[in-house]
Chains A and B, each alone.
Chain A
Amino acid sequence: MTNQSSIKSLPPDENGITELAEDRLFKRVFLTPTVAILLVLSIFPLLWSLGISITTCQRSVQVDASSSTLGNAFCLGNPAELSLQNYARIPTDSRLLTATRNTLFYVVGGVAFQFAVGLGLAMLLNQEFFGRRFFRLVFMLPMMLTPVAAGYLGRMMFDSGLSPLAQLERTIGTALTNLIGQKVTFSIPFITEPSVAPLTIILIDSWQWIPFMTLLLLAGMQAIPDEIYEAARVDGANARQIFWSITFRILLPISLTAILIRSLEMFKIVDIINVVTGGGPGSSTESLVMYVYDTALTYGNYSYAAAIGYVLLVMVIVFATAFLAISRRITRNQLGTES
């Protein structure tokens, strides 16, 4: 590497970041707007929630807007006292535990499924073939819906009385009946059976969000220059070797970001479930955020909702930190030889 006097290229630091040169003003200008916006808009909600979570703050009919005590002012005029009861209640709240378990299932199962299918579709779209543009747009369509609408679509598709799928099932049932000569009813209880409903939720959410994975991964693949593939091919690598040694490696960082983002969103899944099952049958599909929503906005138990929010925050930080640590190690192992 040749260095001109005006440019000082530093070697990559421990995170693999290569720096062109020190340029203090420029550096600040780039980061400041984002940091400022986030700081201004998130610091107050964060602090308020933390503060409220260690009180008994809840909606009450004894509202006194004029009261000047700190507790009242902070709790929208409702009486409140300091207390740790909310955090004490969390481990004993069975509804919360069920909702957490369901949510983790969505995050782990759903995101893995979405990534796998999304990667496959991205590879498909990365091929050169006639009609590729058309398919690319069509594959993106589900993502463009609002989750509420995706939920309604899901309900129309999986309703066991009025959906085309149900009719297909009935047709299959009749055909089987005629074939065997014995009455066969064939019907998958998509949203009526507690053991199946969570999978249906994942299916609907995946239908909507696989395109997110596909689009991110495709954009990543498109950024890989042809020359690299050509070179590998000249060297005699087969398709599998090319995938693992080039595509997979280069896609790794963006894949991890995609998985992280989707997981974070999945932690907050609410709209689709609300529309499709309302959290039922039983308590099989209720998610954490549905519970937080009810607690905060319907029951008016602001402090408990904030406490759950903070426990969730800690969980997600642990999850995300672990994920990033692991992924960083993988990335380094994968890319270690290159830089």
Chain B
Amino acid sequence: MKKMLLLVVLAALIMGIVPVAAQGPFAGQKVVVVTQEGSAIGGPAEKYGAEWAAQSGATVEVQRFAYADLFPKIITALQTKSGEFDVMIFAADYMGDIAGAGYIQPVPDDVKEAVDWNDILPLYRERIADWGGTTYAVPWDGDSHMMYYRKDLVNPNSSFNEEFKAANGFDLDEPQTWNQYKAIAEFFQGKEVETAGVTAPIYGVAEALRKKAQSYWFLMDRAAGYSKIPGDPYFYFDETMKPLVNNPGWVQGLQDWIDIYNCCAAPDMINFDVVNVRAVFPAGQTVFGLDWGDVGPISVDPNASVINGLTGFGTTPGAEKYWDYKKSEWVDAEGGVNKAPFLAFGGWVITVAADTDVSDAAWDYVKYISGKDLAGVLATTGGTGINPLRQSQFDNLDLWINAGFDEESAKDYLGAIQEVINDPNAIVDLRIPGAFEYFDALDAGIAKAVTGEASAQAALDEVAATWDAITDRLGRETQLKLYKQSLGIE
């Protein structure tokens, strides 16, 4: 009996001792992180979260949801108070709905210092991370649209150049305007082309045209060239909140896209999500692909790509003329091309909830996962979903060469991104409450126009009417104020 008692006491002691192992500044605290499922974003948040946990003594619980469900999940949980998030990692265009409603904390100065704030490009640290003049988020991922093309085919020395030039009157080269883009795509559509030892017909373009995906962002790429007035910040609405979406510039952009779809798209492009582009272009099936920075690292991944070294990187094309909504007339672009690169989506940002109980631990986690060195590793690794956003990443070419790029491609890739980011005419995504609803209306309009349910003009007129209805419902005054704020005016 006594022996039994002793055993019980011993067991109790051992069991009591073992859990004390966790030590560190935040021992015993639990940080709940909510973000996207999958190797992109969610993967690094969890992997490096575990590293941080091991040294801080805290535990990290990463709640991961499909991208399509992430916004509904987060916003519904916040509104119903049914989630207890400490850290939220989400897309920059949720900012209007989340920061605007006061669900997150401003970034403390010591965090900025720890993550080497000034190394982050001004565009991200000043515009994307900002809401109403206060910094609410630590940018984790830089995002802008780019054009990818097969540089082995599209260059003046290409064996196709003679034939192309005879037909079109200019050399095969990286297209500067949407018209050139279309001419090249049309030329190659259906041509027998050799890719990585296989000769097969190649298609013109791969772009995300699917409904309920990202189509509106790719329309904006086009509308940007045709309707953005250099030096004027207004793009979606004018200064009275009247939608600009149905002006001739936007209509021309949509018409261009419809023409491309009808003449020279990969099969099924109407059903392409951007992720299909990331599969089809690296598989060597098209001449062009439009995407965020993601195709870059994927194109050098031997498991997913047959075009390593054959990829050219460029900014999205522009237009020869643009529509001036103030004067209501077409204006010829200065220097022949009006380019307005589009910072679609704005990247992933890290935020800390306003009502967290473990504020210090949460910010410490943020410091760890968004530190300068880690950011470099993440940006050069394919599949993390993280694109470059720090000056140090652009300066350090070795980082990219170590990741599998050849020197020329790395320069080309980084050069294209920098050109977008540093362009004073660049357009930032719509970041006001209701952004999703505005975009969905545009999405529906594009879908109708592409299938011919309505003409480009009629479809966009309907979009404009819906936008007005949304603005009225959410309050015109407030929306206008927030829109101006998001453009950095006032």
- Tell me if B72 counts as interface (CB < 8 A to partner A): yes
Flag if A298 contacts B211 (CB, 8 Å): no
Residues of A within 8 A of B211 (CB): 277-282, 286
Flag if A95 contacts B451 (CB, 8 Å): no
Flag if B453 contacts A159 (CB, 8 Å): no
Q: Give chain B nearest CB distance to A189 CB in angstroms.
A: 9
Nearest residue (CB) in A for B215 is A280
Flag if A298 contacts B71 (CB, 8 Å): yes
- Tell me if A81 counts as interface (CB < 8 A to partner B): no
Q: How far is B285's CA from A166's CA once the two chains are assembled, in angstroms?
A: 16
- Tell me if B12 counts as interface (CB < 8 A to partner A): no
Flag if A192 contacts B72 (CB, 8 Å): no
Q: Give chain A nearest CB distance to B474 CB in angstroms.
A: 8
- Tell me if B383 counts as interface (CB < 8 A to partner A): no
Nearest residue (CB) in B for A295 is B437
Q: Give chain A nearest CB distance to B472 CB in angstroms.
A: 11
A281-B102 contact in complex given A59-B75, A65-B81, C-beta closer than 8 Å: no
Flag if B447 contacts A161 (CB, 8 Å): no
Q: Give chain B nearest CB distance to A196 CB in angstroms.
A: 12
Q: How far is B213's CA from A59's CA once the two chains are assembled, in angstroms?
A: 23
Residues of A within 8 A of B447 (CB): 279-283
Nearest residue (CB) in A for B482 is A61
- Tell me if B433 counts as interface (CB < 8 A to partner A): yes
Q: Give chain A nearest CB distance to B389 CB in angstroms.
A: 27
Residues of B within 8 A of A294 (CB): 440
Q: How far is B433's CA from A135's CA once the two chains are assembled, in angstroms?
A: 54
- Tell me if A191 counts as interface (CB < 8 A to partner B): yes
Residues of B within 8 A of A284 (CB): 451
- Tell me if B267 counts as interface (CB < 8 A to partner A): yes
Q: How far is B101's CA from A95's CA once the two chains are assembled, in angstroms?
A: 29
Flag if B453 contacts A299 (CB, 8 Å): no
Contact with A along B426-439 (1 / 0, CB 8 A): 00000001101100
Q: Give chain B nearest CB distance to A77 CB in angstroms.
A: 7
Q: Give chain A nearest CB distance to B475 CB in angstroms.
A: 8
- Tell me if A255 counts as interface (CB < 8 A to partner B): no
- Tell me if B210 counts as interface (CB < 8 A to partner A): yes
Flag if A280 contacts B268 (CB, 8 Å): no
Flag if B453 contacts A194 (CB, 8 Å): yes
Q: Give chain A nearest CB distance to B53 CB in angstroms.
A: 31
A282-B451 contact in complex given A95-B444, A192-B268, A299-B436, C-beta closer than 8 Å: yes
Q: How far is B481's CA from A49's CA once the two chains are assembled, in angstroms?
A: 32
Highest count of chain A CB atoms <10 Å: which of B68, B81, B270 = B270
- Tell me if B80 counts as interface (CB < 8 A to partner A): yes
Q: Give chain B nearest CB distance to A22 CB in angstroms.
A: 47
Flag if B453 contacts A277 (CB, 8 Å): no
Residues of A within 8 A of B76 (CB): 297
Nearest residue (CB) in B for A275 is B68
Residues of A within 8 A of B271 (CB): 159, 191-192, 277, 280-281
Q: Which of B72, B102, B474 contacts A298 (CB 8 A)?
A: B72
- Tell me if A76 counts as interface (CB < 8 A to partner B): yes
Q: Give chain B nearest CB distance to A198 CB in angstroms.
A: 13
A278-B213 contact in complex given A161-B267, A284-B451, C-beta closer than 8 Å: yes
Instruction: Classify chain A's interface size.
Output: 35 or more
Residues of B within 8 A of A279 (CB): 211-212, 447
Flag if B80 contacts A76 (CB, 8 Å): yes
Q: How far is B271's CA from A274's CA once the two chains are assembled, in angstroms?
A: 12
Q: How far is B210's CA from A192's CA once the two chains are assembled, in angstroms?
A: 10
Q: How far is B268's CA from A280's CA once the two chains are assembled, in angstroms?
A: 12
Q: Which of A78, A191, A282, A299 contacts B448 (CB 8 A)?
A: A282
Flag if A192 contacts B473 (CB, 8 Å): no
- Tell me if A103 counts as interface (CB < 8 A to partner B): no
Nearest residue (CB) in B for A290 is B212
Q: Give chain B nearest CB distance to A88 CB in angstroms.
A: 13
- Tell me if B24 counts as interface (CB < 8 A to partner A): no
Residues of A within 8 A of B268 (CB): 159-161, 191-192
Flag if B80 contacts A299 (CB, 8 Å): no
- Tell me if A63 counts as interface (CB < 8 A to partner B): yes
8 A Cβ contacts from A157-203 to B: 159-161, 166, 187, 191-192, 194
Q: How far is B79's CA from A78's CA once the two chains are assembled, in angstroms?
A: 9
- Tell me if B336 counts as interface (CB < 8 A to partner A): no
Flag if B270 contacts A192 (CB, 8 Å): yes
Nearest residue (CB) in B for A300 is B75
Flag if B450 contacts A282 (CB, 8 Å): yes
Residues of B within 8 A of A114 (CB): none
Q: Give chain B nearest CB distance to A76 CB in angstroms.
A: 5
Contact with A along B90-117 (1 / 0, CB 8 A): 0000001100111000000000000000
- Tell me if A206 counts as interface (CB < 8 A to partner B): no
Q: Which of A62, A78, A161, A298 contacts B437 (CB 8 A)?
A: A298
Highest count of chain B CB atoms <10 Å: which of A77, A283, A298 = A298
Q: Which of A77, A161, A277, A280 contacts B79 (CB 8 A)?
A: A77
- Tell me if A58 counts as interface (CB < 8 A to partner B): yes
Flag if A63 contacts B451 (CB, 8 Å): no
- Tell me if B420 counts as interface (CB < 8 A to partner A): no
Q: Give chain B nearest CB distance to A256 CB in angstroms.
A: 35
Flag if A61 contacts B101 (CB, 8 Å): yes
A281-B81 contact in complex given A58-B473, A61-B100, A300-B75, C-beta closer than 8 Å: no
Flag if B451 contacts A194 (CB, 8 Å): yes
Contact with A along B202-219 (1 / 0, CB 8 A): 000000001111000000
Flag if A299 contacts B451 (CB, 8 Å): no
Residues of A within 8 A of B417 (CB): none
- Tell me if B220 counts as interface (CB < 8 A to partner A): no
Q: How far is B79's CA from A76's CA once the two chains are assembled, in angstroms?
A: 6
Flag if A61 contacts B437 (CB, 8 Å): no
Nearest residue (CB) in A for B271 is A191
Contact with A along B394-438 (1 / 0, CB 8 A): 000000000000000000000000000000000000000110110
Flag if A298 contacts B440 (CB, 8 Å): yes
Residues of A within 8 A of B478 (CB): 61
Show 22 A/B contacts (Cβ-Cβ < 8 Å), sorted by A: A59-B75, A62-B101, A160-B267, A161-B268, A192-B270, A277-B210, A277-B211, A277-B271, A278-B213, A280-B210, A280-B212, A280-B447, A280-B451, A281-B271, A282-B451, A282-B452, A282-B453, A293-B72, A298-B72, A299-B437, A300-B75, A301-B437
Which 10 A-B pairs give the minimum distances between C-beta atoms? A280-B211, A278-B212, A282-B451, A297-B72, A61-B100, A299-B437, A278-B211, A61-B101, A282-B453, A161-B267
Chain A interfacial positions (CB closer than 8 Å to B): 58-63, 65, 76-78, 95, 159-161, 166, 187, 191-192, 194, 274, 277-284, 286, 293-294, 297-301
Chain B interfacial positions (CB closer than 8 Å to A): 68, 71-72, 75-76, 79-81, 96-97, 100-102, 210-213, 266-268, 270-271, 280, 285, 433-434, 436-437, 440, 444, 447-448, 450-453, 473-474, 478
Q: Beyond A61-B102, A297-B72, list 12 extra A-B contacts (CB 8 Å).
A: A60-B474, A61-B101, A65-B81, A160-B267, A160-B268, A191-B268, A192-B268, A279-B211, A281-B450, A282-B450, A297-B75, A299-B437
